[in-house]
Structure 1
């Protein structure tokens, strides 16, 4: 049941994330357009469906990303705290979150490349149809491994910083709400 709730929460998050991502990426790809203009153009040319182009590919990127990031974060925290003999400080959990985020970002970059290409593709094109495997094969054929991992360094950097801030803050708040765990010694 937890897996179903996990996937459901990612799908719901993507209901909000995908339209903003579509408009953001299209605005970035067309710097002479404003965000509002890109929203209006997308709605006029493709309707609401245009705002959700890449929805499946986004969900299919988010699931493996989370399945790498969160277990790795917990594993790193456990290993570090066992070696230190005490519960980690929030900043140490944040460091673990940054590393876990960077690893998850790197291994899921090909899925992010496919998602981005699908979102930016010309309406009606084969790529715009959202076939992730077809898009990945096209990238592989045209640009090889380098193409599949295009943008991995900036993506890893941004997600690492986000992981540090978000997971460090999460750990701090969690410990504030559960103070009895703050002083627990690990055996």
Structure 2
């Protein structure tokens, strides 16, 4: 599948690995893919993120990812569902951090780093990359550009999709912006 990735998409994968390394994460996650997409300039995904105003609010996106990371990767929907069962995630995080130190829930549970120092991709991140292939096939494209990775991030619930939606980049909004961009390119 990787051979179908365009150079821009390959750069996103490499940058996601770099973001994981910078954060001392043992695995590359959806959040790292999102941060790598935000790093891009002059690509399809970068253009869509800019059109929707996400690029200009990168600090807010990073705060949203940080808040979810502090909750051990739970989305707000997960936390709300637990609250419905009488479980206050914020209280639990506070108690655990009081006993074991701030940010203790942010670490990876198991190390999947290879002896060579490479980081494995989490199941969710692999799923995003596989979904980007399905999106390419649905669009009858032989290659996978970075914009399909962005669409794949928003195609199912998760922290990255939630943070993007908070900033106006829902799956529907991205599809519409992409369709408008392609129509404008076709008219030119």
TM-score (normalizing by structure 2): 0.30
Task: Give the structure with the larger helix fraction.
Answer: 1
TM-score (normalizing by structure 1): 0.30
> For the pair shown, which has the larger CA radius of gyration, 1 or 2?
1
